[in-house]
Amino acid sequence: MAPTALTGYYRFTDIWFEWHQALPNQADISTLKAVLQYDALIHPDHPLMEDPSKGVLKNQESRLMFSSAQVEYVRYWLHAMKLTEEPIPIPDSEALLTSEQLQTVSPVFYTDAATLKKAIKTIEKNNKKLRYVDNVLMARRNTFERVRTFWAEQAGIWCAIDFESWERDHTILTELGWALIRWDKGKEISEQGHIIVKENRAYSNGTYVPDHRDKFLFGTSDVLDKKTFKKRVADLLAQWQSSGPLFLVFHDAGQDIKYLKSSSVEAPLPFLNRALPDVVPGEGTYVVDTADLFAALEGESAPRRRGLEQMCRHLQISTDYLHNAGNDAYYTLQALKSMASGDPVDMQREKRWPNHTEGSMTGVKVQFQPWEENSDYSDSEGLMPAPKLKLPGDPEATLDPAYEAQMLQEQFS
């Protein structure tokens, strides 16, 4: 019986610094070094074209890596192009990282040699910061990278769902909205929908949340009676589940999942996976929570998570008429797409908010300024430092009484 081929990943640094030194034929050394140079790796004609990958080890360290398939292809390509007389030996299998040793593996792309070269130092710097990160944030970061990997594979259907209910009795559902993205032969296809529950039209919001039920921006709202509403939801889920894996996307999933399971909906979801698998699944229904993804991106491990409007503001996604279920679903999916189609979490964080982690205890927590957090923060407040709080025994501190009350309230809330 032939031995099973061992596959996995090699550290970028092992391939770059060590592989050529183990070659028995001296003539092949310069050839291999040339094809692995930074300028060569990012060239559009390079046989690997767009990789390496980025992996997270079990000890939570990140590493740039080449897959064993990529390494095999490099040696095959060099020989096929007559750049080596024989296929060069593959690296020692002891340097191979198998799936059992890795938390996640996700793609990362570089367009210039300087950025690729800098990435090695940046990842090492981030690894030192991650020593202070707790298990909650690590789990969120791992989920973030799995979502990126699955999205890059264009796997299944990604469907954001949002429910709205009456503000005085949340068991009374008033709306359902959804927005999905799927792929057909590599082409991205999007769909949106919004349903208003006919019998519950009399239950109007407006005291605690705005009533934007009739302001769906991305299509025409359907008004259905309760019985037809329930059947429509069941039919939609069955349709989506028939196309491979279904990723149900929520923003702060808990309440929406309760609605799906309530007597008003009774969604046919016999098993809803809260954790993503290690590899792209071929079937099943999985929960993806953009609140958790954004928490990973901003380096937040606390239970407190961002609201949809806050998240979209920081991701520079314009929103309008929130608390319409169809609009909320659409913006949730846009936030998911923005994060999932971007760079690995640390690279993405630095691109979005450069130099925003100084002073962070963990080294990866983004420190937003007040004017970045609040769209109503005035221009004058952003340009001038905040007045000094009046403290006992500090006669020099002067402050408008109304501003003082506001600051104290924020300080202790």
pLDDT digits (tens, 9 = 90+) for 212-257: 999 999 999 999 999 999 999 999 999 999 988 999 999 999 999 9
pLDDT at 171 over 80: yes
Rounded to two decimals, the pTM is 0.77
Among 227, 125, 221, 235, CA closest to 177: 221
- Specify the pLDDT at position 4: 52
Q: Tell me how far apart the alpha carbons of residues 107 and 359 are, in angstroms, rounded to a whole number.
A: 30
Helix 135-152 vs helix 345-352: angle between axes, to the nearest 10 degrees?
90
pLDDT surpassing 90 at residue 330: yes
The amino acid present at 368, given as its one-letter code, is F
Query: Residue 266: what residue type?
Result: E
pLDDT band (50, 70, 90) for residue 339: very high
What is the rounded distance in angstroms from the CA atom of residue 28 to the CA atom of residue 85? 8
**Domain residue spans in the chain?**
9-132, 152-352, 378-412
CATH topology of domain 152-352: Nucleotidyltransferase; domain 5 (3.30.420)
375 Cβ contact list (under 8 Å, min separation 6): 313
Looking at residue 236, its pLDDT comes to 96
Instruction: Give me the amino acid identity at 86.
Output: E
Average pLDDT rounded to a whole number, residues 334-359:
91
Average pLDDT, whole number, for the chain?
A: 85
What's residue 408's pLDDT?
40
Higher pLDDT pick, 51 / 347: 347
Which residues contact residue 78 at a Cβ distance below 8 angstroms, ignoring those fewer than 6 apart?
Answer: 28, 31, 32, 35, 84, 87, 88
Phi, psi of 304 (to 5 degrees): -60, 130
CA-to-CA separations, 145 to 48, 94, 111, 248, 286, in angstroms, rounded: 21, 26, 20, 17, 15
- Please give the average per-residue pLDDT across 112-132, as a whole number: 76
